[in-house]
Amino acid sequence: MPEEPIDPSAQSLERKLATILSADVAEFSRLMGEDEEDTLRTFRGHKQVFESLVAMHRGRIFNTAGDAILAEFNSAVEAVRCATDIQAALRTRNDKLPPNRQVRFRIGINLGDVMLQGADLMGDGVNVAARLQTAAEPGGICISGSVHDQIRNKLSLSFFSLGEKSFKNIQQPVRTFSISEIEGGGVLPATKPDEPATKGGFVKWVIAAAVILLAGGGFWAYTVHQRNATEQAGAASTQPPATPATATSATSASGAPTSTSTQPVASSGVSPAASPAANPNAMVASNSMMAAAPKPHAPHGSPDAGASSAAFAKFDGVYAGPVCFAETKKEPHRCFRQSGTITGRKITGQWFMGPEKKIVMVLSGDVSKSGDVVIEMVMHSGTADGERMGSVSLQGTLRDGVMDTTGTWRNGRPATLNWRKDNGGAQ
C-alpha cells in the first residue's frame, strides 16, 4: 500500500528562545510628509549605523518594513548593549539636525519563545517586543521583565519600573521597564510611571487631617498639663513641712490625720510627697528621666571598641560589588559597582558619581568580632570635604567574605551594599 504524502502544515514548527529587538522611527509619517527626500537620506544613514552595531553585538536583522527593523540576539545582555549603543550613536547624528527634522528610533526588547519560518521569526516573543517599542519615548528604550531579570547586576543601567502594562492583542500584562541612564552617565528619554490623578488630592487630605489631629492633641495635652500643675500646686500649699528625719502623711478633708506612721526621708532629700509613690505625675517624670538617661555602651559605629586589632585580621582586604539605590517615584533604580577596604575593624571607601563625576561618595564604618557591620555613606558635592548632600546608614553582616548590608536614606529610599572579598581577583 503506497505511503500517504506528509502534509507540511502538520509538521511541528521549530521553536527557540531568543531576545528580540524591535525598532521604528517616531513621527515617521510627519517627517515624510514635510520632506520625503531629506527624511529618506537621514533614515538611510541612521539605518547603516543601526545595522553595523547589530552585527558588532553578534545580532541578526531578520525583518525590515518601511521604518521598522527587527533583530534577534542570543544574549539579552548583548541586545541591551546594542540598543544603548544605537541610541547614543544616533543622538550624535541627530544633534547636527534641527529638532523638528531629527530621525529618532524607539526601541523595545523582549526575551521570549519564537517560531522559525525560514529566516524570519514569528510569535508572541516578537509581538511583545513590537508593543514594548510603542511604550518607549523617541530616542528611548523599553524592555520586558524577562530581559530585566537577565541583565540586572550585569550592566550599569538605571530603570523606571512601569509596572504590568496591557498591550493591544497581547493576552497577558507585560512587566515593563524604561531605561533612563546608561553606562558612562548618558541619559536616555525615559517613560515614567503613571501617577493616579487623585493621588495628590488624597495626600493633601491626609496631611490636613494629620495637622488637625496634632493641633487638637496638642491643645488637649496642654490643658491636662495645666490642670495637673494647678492640682499639684494646691496640694503642695496644704502640705506641712517635712522634718529632716520624718515626714507626716497627708491629712483628710476633716483635718484628722489619715495615718500617724512616719517614713524615713530618702538620702537625696526628696520628701514622700514628691516621691513617685505619692505623686503619680512625679513617677511618670522619673521614669522618663530614667529612660532618657544614657546607658553604658560601646561608642556608636565602633563595635567591640576595646577588642584587640588582631581579632579583626581575618576581615582585612579589599571588598567589591554592587551598591544599589531602590526606585522611587522621582528616581529610577540605580546600581553601581564599587569597592572598599577593611583594615583592622575599620571600613573605608570613596568614589565619584553622577554624569560629570561631580558627586563624591565617602564610606566609613566598623565591623565587630562577630561580623556585625555598621556603615555610613555620605554624599558630598565636588570633593570629599564639600557640601554634604545626604547620607545613608547601613547595617548587616560579614560572613565568609560576603558583606550584606541594607539601610534607608533620610527621604525613605532603600539602599543595599552587597560586596565580596577580592581574593586576588577571584570573586
C-alpha cell of residue 291: 529612660
DSSP, residue by residue, 13-71: PPEEEEEEEEEEETTHHHHHHH-HHHHHHHHHHHHHHHHHHHHHTT-EEEEEETTEEEE
CA distance 395 to 134: 42
pTM of this structure: 0.50
**Domains, the chain, ranges and CATH?**
13-181 (3.30.70.1230), 309-421 (2.40.128)
pLDDT of the residue at 347: 92
CA 219 to chain centre: 39
Residue 61 has a pLDDT of 97
Beta bridge partners, 398, equal 403
| Cross-strand pairs, 120 | 117
Q: What is the pLDDT of residue 88?
A: 93
Grouping H, G, I as helix, E, B as strand and the rest as coil, residue 175 is strand
How much is the pLDDT for 297?
A: 46
DSSP 8-state symbol, 309: G
Check residue 345 and give its pLDDT: 85
Nearest Cα residue to 379 out of 388, 370, 369: 388
Q: Terminal CA-to-CA distance of the chain, rounded, Å?
A: 67
- The C-alpha cell of 99 is what? 529638532
CB 19 within 8 A of CB 76: yes
Q: Which of 398, 393, 394 is nearest to 371 (CA)?
A: 398
pLDDT of residue 344: 82
Residues contacting residue 13 through CB under 8 Å, at least 6 positions apart: 115, 116, 117
What the block records as the C-alpha cell of 2 is 503506497
pLDDT number for residue 131: 96
420 with 338: CB under 8 angstroms? no
Cβ atoms of residues 60 and 70 within 8 Å: no
Q: pLDDT tens per residue, the chain (427 residues)? A: 455 555 555 456 899 999 999 999 999 999 999 999 999 999 999 999 999 999 999 999 999 999 999 999 999 999 999 999 999 999 999 999 999 999 999 999 999 999 999 999 999 999 999 999 999 999 999 999 999 999 988 998 999 999 999 999 899 999 999 999 887 668 899 888 875 544 455 555 556 555 555 555 555 555 556 666 655 655 555 555 544 444 344 444 344 444 444 444 344 444 444 444 444 444 444 444 444 444 444 444 444 444 455 677 888 999 988 888 887 766 788 787 889 999 888 899 998 877 667 788 899 999 988 889 999 888 887 777 777 778 888 989 998 889 989 988 877 788 899 888 887 644 4
CA–CA distances in Å: residue 111 to residues 134, 154, 220, 283: 17, 16, 61, 67
| φ, ψ (nearest 5 deg) of residue 311 | -70, -20
Please state, in angstroms and rounded to a whole number, the distance separating the CA atoms of residues 346 and 314. Answer: 13
Give the number of C-alpha atoms closer than 13 A to the C-alpha of residue 237, restricted to the C-beta side.
Answer: 6
Residue whose C-alpha cell is 531629506: 38
- Other Cβ atoms within 10 Å of 287 Cβ, number: 11
Question: Closest Cα partner for 162 from 200, 201, 131, 127?
Answer: 131
